[in-house]
């Protein structure tokens, strides 16, 4: 439970993290997105978002990379984080486990929607869930919205989480949803 809470806190604190870009592959210059790639995964990312690959020691070691909006004059920056953990659950079992953990650890938790989606694992499609929910990490913290999807491959389970203000503009929310739906394991 503590790991789950720290993971969501990570997502909600990314707007203050330090970072730098690496592992990028630029696609068509006229598009709003580029493909961020590693040896393990790829994800479509807005060109103007910051890529964070170095994290302070208090962040969970399972965090692989995070991306955050470039707006600097708002209270909370929308962000997406990718976390890899050890495990052998199926995509759907992992989705249900994470959702149960969030319900137990987030204050004022409410599930907004669930959508079955297909993501790519090793060039084949794999059914997963896109869960959207709200909650607070602490009693005096802001209410946040989250979108989360999940993939598994071998002994690794992946969670891709978008965190944003419930009042976020639709364009940014759509961009984050596109990011989550583009996540691919190699």
Contacts of 103 (CB under 8 A, 6+ apart): 109, 111
This prediction's pTM: 0.83
Phi, psi of 48 (to 5 degrees): -90, 5
Decide which of 71 and 181 is more confident. Answer: 181
Compute the distance between CA of residue 60 and CA of residue 50 in angstroms, rounded to an integer.
20
The pLDDT tens digits of the residues spanning 109-131 come to: 999 999 999 999 998 999 999 99
Compute the distance between CA of residue 33 and CA of residue 110 in angstroms, rounded to an integer.
31
User: What is the DSSP code string of 78-106?
Assistant: -EEEEEEEE----HHHHHHHHHHHHHHHS
Query: What is the total count of domains within the chain?
Result: 1
Which CATH number goes with the domain that contains 156? Answer: 3.40.1000.10
pLDDT reading at 159 higher than 90: yes
Q: Which domain holds residue 164?
A: 2-185
Contacts of 170 (CB under 8 A, 6+ apart): none
pLDDT at 30: 57
């Amino acid at each position: 439970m503590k790991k789950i809470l720290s993971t969501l806190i990570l997502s909600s604190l990314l707007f203050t993290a330090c970072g730098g870009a690496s592992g990028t592959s630029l696609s068509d210059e006229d598009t709003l997105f580029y493909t961020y790639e590693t040896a393990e995964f790829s994800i479509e990312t807005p060109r103007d978002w910051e890529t964070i690959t170095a994290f302070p020691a208090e962040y969970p070691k399972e965090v692989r990379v995070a991306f955050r909006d470039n707006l600097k004059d708002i209270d909370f920056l929308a962000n997406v984080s990718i976390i890899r953990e050890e495990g052998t659950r199926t995509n759907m079992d992992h989705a249900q486990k994470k959702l149960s953990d969030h319900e137990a650890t987030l204050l004022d938790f409410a599930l907004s929607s669930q959508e079955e989606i297909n993501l790519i694992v090793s060039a084949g499609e794999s059914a997963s869930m896109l869960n959207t929910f709200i909650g607070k990490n602490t009693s005096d913290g802001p209410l946040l919205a989250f979108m989360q999807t999940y993939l598994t491959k071998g002994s690794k389970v992946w969670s891709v989480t978008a965190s944003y203000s419930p009042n976020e503009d639709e364009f940014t929310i759509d961009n984050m949803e596109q990011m989550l739906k583009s996540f691919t394991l190699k």
